[in-house]
């Protein structure tokens, strides 16, 4: 459709090009070939009589006009989304749609399977894609998931919230310790001295960073653990605790789930770790999406169930 001699589809391409300042990444975001995206940029340049993106060294930088256009294009697309969603009557039983949810393996193991089982009953046409946290290019996992990966929802701990995106509290949990059941050394409560002297199983991300709540808090108060094993998933911790005198620190919800499958004993942590709250965030352009609002309600309902 054309409006004042401009194909309005080109505004979607313009939004991606100005957000990425890179034709190849914009093409991936638009699910188009690089040649088609380059052609779209050429047509936009012709319409606005401006290069929009200019080469500076090995990078592309927006022109002054492009910087003026960027927020206006974002606002217009958001308004168009709200307009289209207003008239939609959402029926979960008739919905055929794929949702991508980005979350830690803790949330993926303790909450999302219950959500998936509920969807199978009330919305069998919905496909749920669960993705682990991506490695963010600028340290912001929320923007990475919602902007660059085009995910629908991202569930993050409070300390990783991005205030630029809508949010809602989802679940609250506390840290505890798991040890191998039957280990005489841990028959009683775990003391701080025991905790510091024992070997630990800890969770690390693929890039070697340990951003878990317990690691950050121990770093803040100046305590170090004797790390024996690092794993990339909370769910693997039990495998490296069973049959040893090692300790792992993780959230109670997942510890209880693991204790149903492994010979584990749950013990209170000897350190007053802060409680952890997980939030769900989504893109402002999807704020009025009735299907996504319904899915967020399902997440919350399964937490409270």
What pLDDT does residue 27 have?
Answer: 84
Tokens of 140: 């912001």
**8 Å CB contact between 96 and 126:** yes
**8 Å CB contact between 213 and 276:** yes
Rg (CA), the chain: 24
CATH of domain 2-86: 1.10.10.10
- What CATH superfamily classification does 92-172+277-304 receive? Periplasmic binding protein-like II (3.40.190.10)
Pairing of the two strands 199-203 and 247-251: parallel
Question: Which of the listed CATH numbers 3.30.360.10, 3.40.50.1400, 3.30.499.10, 3.40.190.10 matches domain 175-274?
Answer: 3.40.190.10
Domain ranges for the chain, please list them: 2-86, 92-172+277-304, 175-274
Q: What string of pLDDT tens digits covers the 305 residues of the chain?
A: 444 566 667 778 888 888 888 888 888 888 888 888 888 888 888 888 888 888 888 788 888 888 888 888 888 777 776 666 555 568 899 999 999 999 988 999 999 999 999 999 999 999 999 998 877 777 788 998 998 888 999 999 998 899 999 999 999 999 999 999 987 777 667 889 999 999 999 988 655 555 678 888 999 999 999 999 999 888 899 999 999 999 999 999 999 999 999 999 999 999 999 988 999 999 998 888 889 999 999 999 999 87
- Domains 2-86 and 92-172+277-304 alike in fold: no
Partner residues linked to 20 by β-bridges = none
Q: What share of the chain is helix, strand, coil (3-state, %, to 5)?
A: 45, 25, 30
What pLDDT does residue 164 have?
Answer: 93
């Amino acid at each position: 459709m054309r409006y004042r001699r401009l194909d309005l589809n080109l505004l979607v391409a313009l939004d991606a090009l100005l957000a990425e300042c890179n034709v190849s990444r914009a093409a991936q975001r638009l699910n188009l070939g690089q040649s088609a995206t380059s052609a779209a940029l050429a047509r936009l340049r012709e319409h606005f009589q401006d290069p929009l993106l200019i080469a500076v060294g090995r990078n592309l930088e927006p022109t002054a006009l492009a910087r003026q256009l960027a927020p206006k294009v974002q606002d217009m697309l958001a308004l168009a989304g709200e307009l289209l969603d207003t008239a939609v009557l959402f029926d979960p039983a008739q919905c055929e749609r794929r949702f991508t949810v980005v979350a830690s393996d803790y949330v993926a193991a303790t909450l999302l399977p219950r959500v998936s089982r509920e969807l199978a009953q009330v919305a069998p046409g919905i496909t749920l894609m669960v993705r682990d946290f991506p490695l963010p290019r600028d340290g912001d996992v929320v923007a990475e998931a919602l902007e660059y990966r085009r995910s629908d929802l991202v569930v993050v701990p409070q300390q990783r919230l991005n205030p630029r995106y809508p949010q809602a509290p989802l679940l609250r949990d506390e840290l505890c310790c798991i040890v191998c059941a039957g280990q005489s050394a841990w028959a009683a409560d775990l003391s701080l001295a025991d905790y510091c002297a024992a070997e630990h199983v800890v969770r690390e991300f693929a890039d070697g960073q340990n951003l878990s709540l317990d690691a950050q808090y121990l770093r803040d108060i100046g305590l170090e653990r004797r790390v024996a094993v690092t794993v990339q998933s909370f769910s693997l911790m039990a495998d490296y605790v069973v049959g040893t005198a090692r300790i792992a620190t993780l959230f109670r919800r997942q510890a209880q789930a693991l204790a149903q499958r492994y010979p584990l004993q749950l013990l209170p942590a000897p350190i007053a770790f802060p409680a952890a709250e997980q939030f769900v965030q989504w893109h402002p352009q999807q704020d009025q999406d009735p299907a996504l609002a319904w899915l967020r309600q399902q997440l919350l309902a399964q937490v409270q169930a």
